[in-house]
């Protein structure tokens, strides 16, 4: 192997004449690097880069103006000439920019279906997630009022129908751009504000995120992909049925984390169902793991009292040295499964023998 | 043959500086695959590579007014690319300090050399690795380099940079670049030698 990191050309013309020493002489190891593939940028990367550059230009102009205004001489003769020069440059820059730089508004109009349904598409996440959700079985019923369920479903269906009706994004024909512009012009104030907020959020997205949104939108707009639509609809309803403070965090999860969250939610609900099915008063048994919130917060976010010394501490859960299930001074410890409740009001059932619940301590059942 | 002072990219950049938007588009088209390749092998993730390449173009565009053709455009872009990669590393450190897990696809030095050597030795006894396996081995070996070694190797290999150009892009001296590449070569050899021996046998 050539140990020629100090010498040895890489074969590039011009190196020797420049007196530069090439760096690529690493012999056989170097040749192995040839196996690494050359990558290609995605087809819309150039367009989105130019678009982002245009947005950058539009944003940087006001800041530059502010900086120019600071620390100028107070005499009007001192600042008038620079101010005129700055204003002239700005106007010229705006004019030149409008002529030469792609119009960000045009990009937004080209992507209008994605912008209009941005929250829904971000909520759906990715095709991969929808496919996973579609393959998932044993969906549990949603706990929300029927009318709310119906309204949310209608809202989703309307959005999908809208996407199906207008699913042109990317490079769009001029007449359609004009049509979209006219539609926005006739929108009510609230609706237009909503579109403007979505457009601002859309411009903040990276090229990868925009491509992902377009992929999801294409899938939802395709009437042949019913299973994805059904999965997206179900997910929309699940989100609608979740606690409002949690929704944003849930939507921001990646596909795997979303599925994990659903799994934990299902387990928790199953456990809750089992608990409700037990006869009242039956306590004990190991608790399933609490349902972690999407941000990794255990439980439902409500604070839980840990006891004066902390549950499971050296003094036991009640701080008196006794553990759960161990009889207390009055025999009120945990009963075996199926044993009667000691605090039941009313006469003892006939079939229950009139004997204390526990051998230790005074009988509690006799207190009734 | 003397290197021309103004290469085509420099000419394009001068037009961008003068407000020619078409020239910027041409520059992006001309450079996007090169930068994506560089960042793909630096981070291991195509989407991250595209985002970083876009960041390079945006920095180029923002700094267009101050561009001076005193050096080759290539060197300038490589300097910006190195800065962008360095910023990515610093963001990852900050995330670690805050306890947020870093993006595993962009992690560096995730695979120890010992593991790589053991993995590579798996190719020895029975078969010659096909191209995909070789790619995976080389990719892991490159990922095992530290950030600066990796950038230097990628600039040298994929951008055909000389020591001087790498030094200029990374803000190092030529001896430092040589030392960096020497250590990188040794690490790559440690990781890949079992495979290469097997390939020869």
The structure tokens listed for A93 are 């820059």
ipTM over 0.85: no
Report pLDDT for A96.
Answer: 67
CA dist A217 and B6 (Å) reads: 45
Interface touch A22/B162, C-beta < 8 Å:
yes
CA dist B145 and B138 (Å) reads: 11
Report pLDDT for A97.
Answer: 61
Nearest-CB residue to A29 (from B21, B160, B192): B192
B162 SS3 class: strand
CA dist B196 and B123 (Å) reads: 9
- Note whether A20 contacts B: Cβ–Cβ < 8 A: yes
- Note whether A43 contacts B: Cβ–Cβ < 8 A: no
Interface touch A206/B51, C-beta < 8 Å:
yes
Distances (CA, A) of A186 to A58, A167, B90: 26, 21, 47
At residue A182's C-alpha, the angle toward residues A178 and A186, to 5°, is 170
Report pLDDT for A26.
Answer: 54
CA dist A147 and B28 (Å) reads: 52
Q: String of b and e for A233-262 (b: at least 16 CB within 10 Å)? A: bbbbbbbbbbeeebbebbbebebeebeebb
Burial (CB < 10 A; 0-12, 13-18, 19+), residue A167, is middle
* Interface probe, candidates B33, B61, B105, B145, chain A, greatest A C-beta count within 10 A: B61
Mean pLDDT confidence for A134-147: 72
- Note whether B136 contacts A: Cβ–Cβ < 8 A: no
Report pLDDT digits (tens) over A27-65: 677 777 887 888 888 878 888 888 777 766 655 554 433
**A270 pLDDT more than 60:** yes
CA dist A309 and A311 (Å) reads: 7
Nearest-CB residue to B41 (from A36, A40, A41): A36
CA dist A205 and A187 (Å) reads: 25
Contact residues, chain A, for B59 at CB < 8 Å: none
- Give this prediction's pTM: 0.41
- DSSP character for A139? P
Least confident of A248-257, A282-291, B113-122, B149-158: A282-291
CA dist B58 and B31 (Å) reads: 13
Decide: B187 and B145 in contact? Cβ < 8 Å: yes
Name the band, by pLDDT with cuts 50, 70 and 90, for residue A99. Answer: low
Q: Could you tell me which residues are beta bridge partners of residue A222?
A: none
Contact residues, chain B, for A23 at CB < 8 Å: 152, 155-156, 161-163, 166, 177-178, 181
CA B16, chain centre distance (Å): 25
Nearest-CB residue to B61 (from A20, A32, A56): A56
Nearest-CB residue to A26 (from B162, B174, B185): B185
The structure tokens listed for A284 are 């004990």
CA dist A201 and B166 (Å) reads: 38
Closest Cα partner for A247 from A199, A201, A295, A215? A295
A8: left (phi over 0), alpha (psi -120 to 50) or beta: left
CA dist B142 and B139 (Å) reads: 5
Closest Cα partner for B83 from B108, B106, B55? B55
- DSSP character for A114? H
Interface touch B181/A42, C-beta < 8 Å:
no
Report pLDDT digits (tens) over B11-52: 889 888 888 888 888 889 899 999 999 999 888 888 889 999
Phi/psi at B138 (nearest 5 deg)?
A: -65, -40
CA dist B140 and B112 (Å) reads: 10
Other residues' Cβ atoms within 10 Å of the Cβ of residue B89: 17
Name the band, by pLDDT with cuts 50, 70 and 90, for residue A189. Answer: confident
CA dist A216 and A127 (Å) reads: 6
Report pLDDT for A187.
Answer: 79
- Note whether B32 contacts A: Cβ–Cβ < 8 A: yes
What element of type H or E holds A338? none
**Which residues fall within 8 angstroms of residue A348, CB to CB, at 6 or more apart?**
A340, A354, A365, A368
Interface touch B189/A29, C-beta < 8 Å:
yes
- Note whether B157 contacts A: Cβ–Cβ < 8 A: yes
Report pLDDT digits (tens) over B66-112: 888 877 888 889 999 999 888 877 776 666 565 555 444 444 444 44
Report pLDDT for A77.
Answer: 62
Percent of chain A with pLDDT over 90: 0
**A88 pLDDT more than 70:** yes
Decide: A214 and A169 in contact? Cβ < 8 Å: yes
Which residue in this structure is represented by tokens 């000691």?
A: A342
Q: Could you tell me which residues are beta bridge partners of residue B162?
A: A22
CA dist B184 and B195 (Å) reads: 17
- Note whether B100 contacts A: Cβ–Cβ < 8 A: no
Closest Cα partner for A275 from A283, B92, A359? A283
A-facing residues of B in 47-76 (CB < 8 A) are 47, 49-51, 53-54, 57-58, 61-62
Contact residues, chain B, for A33 at CB < 8 Å: 138, 142, 153, 157, 188
CA dist B96 and B61 (Å) reads: 31
Report pLDDT for B91.
Answer: 72
Interface touch B177/A23, C-beta < 8 Å:
yes
What element of type H or E holds B126? none
Burial (CB < 10 A; 0-12, 13-18, 19+), residue A355, is exposed
Interface touch A39/B36, C-beta < 8 Å:
yes
A198: left (phi over 0), alpha (psi -120 to 50) or beta: alpha
Q: String of b and e for B169-183 (b: at least 16 CB within 10 Å)? A: bbebebebbbebbeb
Alpha-carbon torsion A129, A134, A135, A140, what sign? Answer: positive
Which residue in this structure is represented by tokens 């051998």?
A: A359
Interface touch B21/A10, C-beta < 8 Å:
no
CA dist B56 and A89 (Å) reads: 27
């Amino acid at each position: 192997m050539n140990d020629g990191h100090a010498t040895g050309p890489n074969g590039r013309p011009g190196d020797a004449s420049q007196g530069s020493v090439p760096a690529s002489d690493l012999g056989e190891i170097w040749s192995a690097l040839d196996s690494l593939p050359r990558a290609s940028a995605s087809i819309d990367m150039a367009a989105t880069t130019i678009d982002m550059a245009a947005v950058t230009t539009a944003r940087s102009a006001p800041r530059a103006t502010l900086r120019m205004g600071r620390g100028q001489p107070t005499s009007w003769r001192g600042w008038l000439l620079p101010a005129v020069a700055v204003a002239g440059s700005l106007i010229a820059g705006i004019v030149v920019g409008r002529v030469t730089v792609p119009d960000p508004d045009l990009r937004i109009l080209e992507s209008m279906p994605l912008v209009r349904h941005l929250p829904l598409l971000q909520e759906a996440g990715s095709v991969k997630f929808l496919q996973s959700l579609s393959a998932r079985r044993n969906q549990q019923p949603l706990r929300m009022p029927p009318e709310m369920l119906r309204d949310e479903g209608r809202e989703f269906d309307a959005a999908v129908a809208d996407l199906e009706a207008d699913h042109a994004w990317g490079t769009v024909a001029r007449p359609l751009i004009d049509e979209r512009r006219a539609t926005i012009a006739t929108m009510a104030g609230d609706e237009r504000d909503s579109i403007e907020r979505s457009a601002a959020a859309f411009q903040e997205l990276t090229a990868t995120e925009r491509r992902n949104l377009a992929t999801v939108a294409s899938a939802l707009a395709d009437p042949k992909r019913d299973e994805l639509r059904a999965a997206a609809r179900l997910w929309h309803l699940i989100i609608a049925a979740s606690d409002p403070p949690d929704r944003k965090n849930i939507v921001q999860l990646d596909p795997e984390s979303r599925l994990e969250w659903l799994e934990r939610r299902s387990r928790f609900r199953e456990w809750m169902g089992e608990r409700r099915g037990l006869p009242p008063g039956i306590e004990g048994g190991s608790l399933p793991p609490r349902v972690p919130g999407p941000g990794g917060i255990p439980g439902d976010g409500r604070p839980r009292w840990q006891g004066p010394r902390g549950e499971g501490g050296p003094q036991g859960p009640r701080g008196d040295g006794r553990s759960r299930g161990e009889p207390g001074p009055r025999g009120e410890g945990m009963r075996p499964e199926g044993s009667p409740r000691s605090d039941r009001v009313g006469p003892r059932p006939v079939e229950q023998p009139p004997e204390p619940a526990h051998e230790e301590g005074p009988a509690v059942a006799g207190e009734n | 043959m003397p290197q021309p002072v103004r290469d085509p990219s420099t000419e394009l950049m001068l037009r961008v500086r003068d407000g020619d938007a078409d020239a910027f588009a041409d520059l992006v088209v001309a450079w996007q695959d090169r930068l994506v390749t560089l960042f793909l092998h630096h981070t291991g993730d195509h989407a991250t590579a595209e985002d970083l390449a876009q960041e390079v173009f945006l920095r180029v565009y923002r700094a267009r007014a101050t561009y001076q053709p005193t050096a080759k455009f290539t060197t300038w872009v490589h300097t910006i690319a190195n800065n962008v990669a360095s910023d990515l590393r610093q963001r990852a450190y900050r995330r670690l300090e805050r306890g947020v897990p870093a993006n595993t696809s962009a992690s560096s030095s995730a695979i120890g050399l010992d593991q790589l050597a053991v993995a590579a030795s798996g190719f020895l006894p029975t078969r010659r690795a096909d191209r995909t396996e070789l790619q995976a081995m080389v990719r892991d070996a490159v990922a095992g380099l530290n950030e600066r070694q990796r950038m230097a190797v990628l600039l040298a290999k994929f951008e055909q940079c000389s020591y001087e150009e790498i030094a200029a892009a990374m803000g190092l001296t030529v001896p430092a670049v040589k030392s960096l590449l020497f250590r990188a070569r040794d690490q790559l050899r440690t990781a890949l030698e079992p495979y290469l021996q097997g390939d020869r046998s």
